[in-house]
Amino acid sequence: MRFAQELPAVLALETSHPVRFILASSTLTTLNLAGNSIGDNGTVALSEALKTNSTLTILHLDSNSIGFNGTVALSEALKTNSTLTTLNLAGNSTGDNGTVALSEALKTNSTLTTLSLADNLIEDSGAVALSAALKTNTTLITLDLLYNSIGPNGTVALSEAFKTNSTLTTLNLAGNSIGDNGAIALSEALKTNSTLTTLNLNNISIGPNGSAALSEALKTNSTLTTLHLDSNSIGDNGTVALSEALKTNSTLTSLHLDSNSIGFNGTVALSEALKTNVTVTIMGVSHIRLMATPR
């Protein structure tokens, strides 16, 4: 593979990169290098240090111009590092190939609990790789995939993993192009998944069909407590379906439906549902389109 040929040459140049010496400390547990443009070279050096470091638990590398080589180096470090629990790579350029490398590391890593890959140019093939990792990984609790380019196919793959994964509790897929088909796949997974508690599906192009599927899942799911559906196209029909689910669901406590073209009928349906639902304590429905009833 390409990274096997390129990485040693980069590593030979970067073993003395100053960022590596930061981890020489024997007491450092949290390191925030966000926005420092350390790039691939700095990340390679840092990764070498991570292979032997035994104290760092939280590492923020968001917005650092990290690309393929840097991601591969981090992935290799994660295969041996046994202390890191939180890794933030948001706002870099991991891409699909880098995500494949990270996914391989996740199959064997047993300490990482929180991973942010938000805004990392990840498409369907990257999501497929992550789904394979999630089928065997037993430690990851939070996965942030905000603002990538994951479509229905990638979401279908992830959904298959969620049917068997028993550790992930928080998933952020906001800002991807999942659409109704992706939402339908996720809904099927929610019918059997028993660990996910927070799901962010803001701005993913869900319409009434996707909303109806989610509603059916909510009738049987007994673990989800927070659902974000802001900035979609749910409309009145989708809201009516969700409202029916709220009449029987007894675990959801927070539902966000802001900016969804909800009108009079949808608002009435929600109101009726809340007369019997006793668990929802937070609901967002801003930017609704109420019209006065004719006299």
Residue 294 lies in a domain: no
* Prediction pTM value: 0.92
Q: For residue 16, what pLDDT is reported?
A: 58
Banded pLDDT at 19 (limits 50, 70, 90): confident
Instruction: Say which CATH number the domain at 24 has.
Output: 3.80.10.10
Exposure string over 210-223, b if 16+ CB within 10 A, otherwise e = bbbbbbbbbeebee
Residue 176 maps to a domain: yes
Tens-digit pLDDT profile for residues 211-246: 999 999 999 999 999 999 999 999 999 999 999 999
Residue 250 — pLDDT band, cuts 50, 70, 90? Answer: very high
| 293 belongs to a structural domain | no
The answer as to whether 295 is a domain residue is no
Q: Which domain holds residue 129?
A: 2-284
| Statement: residue 10 has pLDDT above 60 | no
* Rounded average pLDDT over 185-203: 98
User: Model confidence at 291, in pLDDT bands (50, 70, 90)?
Assistant: low
264-274 pLDDT tens trace: 999 999 999 99
List, as one string, the DSSP characters of 115-175. EE--SS---HHHHHHHHHHHTT--S--EEE-TTS---HHHHHHHHHHHTT--S--EEE-TT
Does residue 291 lie in a domain region? no
- In this structure, the dihedral spanned by the alpha carbons of residues 171, 117, 87 and 32, taken in order and rounded to 10 degrees, is -120
Measure the CA–CA gap between 84 and 70, rounded to whole angstroms: 17
- Domain count along the chain: 1
Is pLDDT above 50 for 5? no
Q: How many CB atoms lie within 10 A of CB 22?
A: 15
pLDDT for residue 107 is more than 90: yes
Res 91 pLDDT > 50: yes
Q: How far apart are CA 175 and CA 80, in angstroms?
A: 33
Read off the tokens for 209. 């069909």
Q: Is the pLDDT of residue 67 over 50?
A: yes
In a domain, 80, yes or no: yes
Helices and strands (H and E) in the chain: how many: 11, 10
Give the pLDDT confidence score for residue 254 in this predicted structure. Answer: 98
Distance set, CA 136 to CA 49, 276, 279 (Å): 27, 40, 33
